[in-house]
């Protein structure tokens, strides 16, 4: 009995161990401890499962239940992505039919352990194949179908793992051949992935530029930082960095309230209406599934700098809109935007819970993770890489750049919903309610809030604000670690560091939740902190503030001027926001949201106009009414008319052609849904 349990646990964990080992080698998992903790957790599950089935059943096919059920469930998930509703039936039926044929025509003696291990290994490698397809924009349907068919053969062969030797049991020789064949098929996509561990090519001396580090704190609103007057000390390290060594823009504005168009504006210096990488217009006759991609003809910071002999590296915690699928990776010689290995673990584990919506389930998960801390993020299904992992990758990239000038883009995702503060930070600030979910939003309730059917009450708003602020506090520690490490580098003085956000977060203001739903200041006003390099032209002295308007598009020319490169003509940005009198914003909503409206905004001299495609117009004086509660569009008709005219002028700018976006795979759709971008 003990021998069977040990063999069962070993075979069941072998697949998961191999999967995570490949991820470790391929720089997907950045620490050995993460790999070991994952492996130990899987061992624990399989030992318990094997023990349970061995005790409750005298049937010698107990091993089939331990191995065949979880392996077939992986095949079902894979085939579901290709065949839809019938995928699960195809996986189970195919495994049965092909397994029966296999055992019918190969009447030899064999090893039950090898037979089980063969199927388990493929079960672990299949998720890896899908992750490669996601990252590299490869359509691997043929490989996946072939692997799923082979998986069915291996899965059913485990039905005979607990039986005595007989004429229908596969031989050891054939088991080893299958194991080798399955491994080769699963490893085929490996060469297509370029990890951050690949060193840059030797410098040619053509650029002569200095490093630029562009850090985007995804979903961080300016007024939740004490640097911008917040009452809580959410990011004290960032405040010290800003006041001692950097220049702070007091009124920095994002040109869009969602990640894809705002990052595209940062990368191109163009307004969303010009670069076109955004959700479709409501009147578009043939809209894409989610959004248009960035057109490949548009020069980005990465494309320009890579041609100037820079090593361009992108490391993004946002694996949805910032995935290579939407075109923002163009020009980067190395680009990391993979889903978190923890999310892949949860999604492909038979016992996994992708979204906890029950308070008691969450309490059990948190109680278990209190005893085994390394399981916490797995059980909660954190959909993005933690800031610690992003910082490790960023430091590795800087070290490997050597003497070659580096353009490094870093996206931290921790402030994005769902709010998953680490255990040490969860109660950093008061307000978290024990009667509400810590791990995120209940989907039905979230949709009701987004659709305007339900408003957050005081308890709910305090709860989510406390969790959001806790995420900022954790993010601050990792940002401080990166900045402190950079400060020790010999190129520190010459390095340009830009710290900003793509947009803010509603957190109950104006009845909203999350972002992508309005152009109010809680979503469009962002932090912008710049440490100039010694070669950065026009830089104000360290510790000073820019009081005028600065936009996301102004980062593009700033980086190029710092690098000593010409700024392309016709862009919308100006370095440091020089000469800017107006700022603009655009919102293209998801079509599946109730009462979806396109929004445009313009602001100048403390006034802000928001105009809807439905004809509604709002006007606010931000100095006297920072909460945008008093609409003055009727009382101040002259100012409204002036801002409307400026806004209408943007309709005549040159718009780049929309890029056709292929239909979203189920995996990409699931990733966007996990991050709250689609319903």
Q: Where are the domains of the chain?
A: 2-192, 212-340+382-578
**Least confidently predicted of 145-154, 324-333, 393-402, 562-571:** 145-154
pLDDT at 514: 81
With bands split at pLDDT 50, 70 and 90, how would you rate the model's confidence at 435?
confident
Q: What is the pTM of this model?
A: 0.75
Average pLDDT over residues 362-372: 83
Instruction: Tell me which of 356 and 274 has the higher pLDDT.
Output: 274
pLDDT at 474: 97
**Nearest residue to 672 via CA among 196, 216, 326:** 326
For tokens 């309490």, name the residue. Answer: 363
Asked whether residue 603 carries a pLDDT value surpassing 50, the answer given is yes
What does the pLDDT look like over 636-671, one tens digit per residue? Answer: 999 999 999 999 888 766 666 666 665 665 556 666
pLDDT at 665: 59
Distance CA 543, CA 248 (A): 8
Distance CA 134, CA 139 (A): 8
Average pLDDT value for the chain: 74
Burial 260-269 (b: 16+ CB within 10 A, else e): bbbbbbbbbb
Average pLDDT over residues 169-189: 40
Rg (the chain; Cα; Å): 27
Average pLDDT over residues 438-467: 78
pLDDT at 91: 52
Instruction: Tell me which of 380 and 95 has the higher pLDDT.
Output: 380
Average pLDDT over residues 536-540: 92
Asked whether residue 84 carries a pLDDT value surpassing 80, the answer given is no
CA torsion, points 282, 417, 463, 454, in degrees to nearest 10?
20
Average pLDDT over residues 114-140: 44
Percent of the chain whose predicted confidence (pLDDT) is above 70: 60
Q: 528: which 2 tokens?
A: 């912008």
Instruction: Tell me which of 636 and 457 has the higher pLDDT.
Output: 636
pLDDT at 656: 64
Asked whether residue 516 carries a pLDDT value surpassing 70, the answer given is yes
**How many CA atoms lie within 13 Å of 604's alpha carbon, on the beta-carbon side?**
15
CATH of domain 212-340+382-578: 3.40.720.10
Angle between helices 387-401 and 458-487 (to 10 degrees): 20
pLDDT at 247: 97
pLDDT at 284: 79
With bands split at pLDDT 50, 70 and 90, how would you rate the model's confidence at 607?
very high
Residue 303: strand, helix, or coil: helix
What does the pLDDT look like over 149-160, one tens digit per residue? Answer: 544 544 444 444
CB 418 within 8 A of CB 471: no
**51 phi, psi to nearest 5 deg:** -65, -45
pLDDT at 675: 64
Asked whether residue 484 carries a pLDDT value surpassing 90, the answer given is yes
With bands split at pLDDT 50, 70 and 90, how would you rate the model's confidence at 101?
very low
Average pLDDT over residues 481-491: 95
Q: Is the dihedral of CA 624, 628, 630, 635 positive or negative?
A: positive
């Amino acid at each position: 009995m003990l021998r069977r349990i040990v063999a069962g646990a070993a075979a069941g964990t072998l697949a998961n161990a191999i999967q995570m080992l490949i991820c470790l080698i391929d720089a997907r998992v950045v620490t050995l401890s993460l790999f070991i903790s994952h492996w130990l957790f899987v061992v624990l599950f399989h030992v318990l499962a094997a023990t349970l089935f061995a005790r409750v059943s005298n049937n010698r096919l107990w091993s089939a239940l331990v191995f065949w059920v979880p392996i077939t469930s992986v095949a079902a998930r894979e085939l579901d992505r290709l065949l839809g509703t019938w995928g699960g039936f195809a996986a189970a039926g195919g495994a049965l039919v092909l397994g029966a044929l296999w055992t019918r025509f190969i009447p030899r003696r064999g090893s039950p352990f090898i037979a089980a291990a063969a199927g388990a290994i493929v079960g672990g490698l299949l998720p890896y194949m899908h992750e490669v397809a996601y990252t590299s924009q490869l359509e691997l349907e043929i490989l996946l179908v072939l692997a799923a068919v082979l998986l069915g053969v291996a899965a059913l062969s485990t039905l005979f793992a607990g039986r005595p030797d007989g004429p229908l049991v596969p031989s050891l020789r054939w088991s080893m051949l299958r194991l080798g064949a399955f491994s080769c098929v699963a490893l085929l996509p490996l060469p297509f992935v370029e990890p951050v561990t690949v060193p840059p090519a030797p410098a040619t001396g053509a650029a002569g530029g200095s490093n630029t580090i562009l850090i985007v704190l995804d979903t961080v609103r300016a007024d939740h930082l004490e640097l911008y007057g917040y009452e809580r000390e959410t990011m004290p390290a960032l405040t010290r960095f800003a006041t001692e060594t950097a220049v702070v823009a007091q009124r920095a504005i994002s040109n869009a309230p969602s990640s894809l168009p705002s990052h595209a504006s940062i990368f191109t210096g163009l307004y969303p209406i010009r670069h076109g990488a955004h959700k479709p217009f409501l009147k578009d006759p043939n809209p894409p599934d989610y959004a248009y991609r960035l057109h490949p003809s548009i020069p980005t910071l990465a494309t320009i700098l890579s041609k100037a002999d820079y090593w361009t590296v992108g490391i993004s915690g946002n694996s949805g809109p910032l995935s290579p699928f939407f075109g923002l990776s163009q020009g980067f010689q190395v680009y990391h935007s993979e889903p978190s290995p923890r999310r892949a673990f949860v999604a492909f584990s038979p016992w996994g819970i992708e979204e906890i919506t029950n308070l008691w389930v969450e309490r059990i998960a948190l109680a278990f993770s209190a005893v085994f801390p390394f399981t916490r993020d797995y059980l909660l299904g954190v959909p993005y890489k933690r800031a610690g992992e992003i910082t490790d990758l960023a430091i590795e990239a800087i070290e490997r750049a050597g003497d070659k000038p580096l353009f490094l883009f870093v996206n931290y995702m921790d402030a994005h919903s769902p709010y998953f503060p680490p255990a040490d930070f969860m109660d950093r600030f008061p307000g978290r309610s024990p009667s509400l979910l810590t791990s995120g939003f209940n989907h039905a309730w979230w949709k009701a809030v987004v659709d305007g059917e339900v408003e957050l009450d005081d308890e709910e708003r305090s709860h989510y604000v406390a969790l959001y602020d806790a995420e900022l506090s954790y993010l601050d520690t990792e940002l401080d670690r990166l900045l402190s490490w950079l400060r020790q580098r010999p190129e520190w003085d010459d390095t340009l560091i830009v710290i900003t956000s793509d947009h803010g977060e509603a957190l109950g203001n104006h009845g909203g939740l999350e972002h992508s739903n309005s152009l109010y200041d809680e979503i469009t006003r962002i932090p912008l902190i710049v440490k100039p390099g010694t070669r950065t032209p026009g830089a104000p002295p360290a510790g000073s503030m820019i009081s005028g308007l600065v936009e996301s598009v102004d980062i593009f020319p700033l980086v190029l001027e710092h690098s000593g490169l010409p700024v392309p003509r016709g862009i919308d940005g100006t370095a440091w926001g020089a000469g800017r009198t107006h700022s603009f914003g655009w919102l293209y909503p998801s079509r599946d949201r109730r009462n979806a409206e396109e929004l445009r905004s313009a602001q100048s001299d403390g006034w802000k106009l928001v105009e809807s495609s439905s004809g509604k117009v709002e006007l606010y004086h931000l100095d006297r009414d920072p909460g945008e509660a008093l609409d003055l569009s009727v009382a101040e008709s002259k100012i409204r008319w002036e801002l409307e005219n400026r806004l209408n002028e943007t309709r005549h700018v040159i718009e780049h052609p929309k890029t056709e976006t292929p239909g979203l795979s189920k995996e990409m759709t699931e990733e966007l849904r996990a991050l709250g971008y689609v319903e």
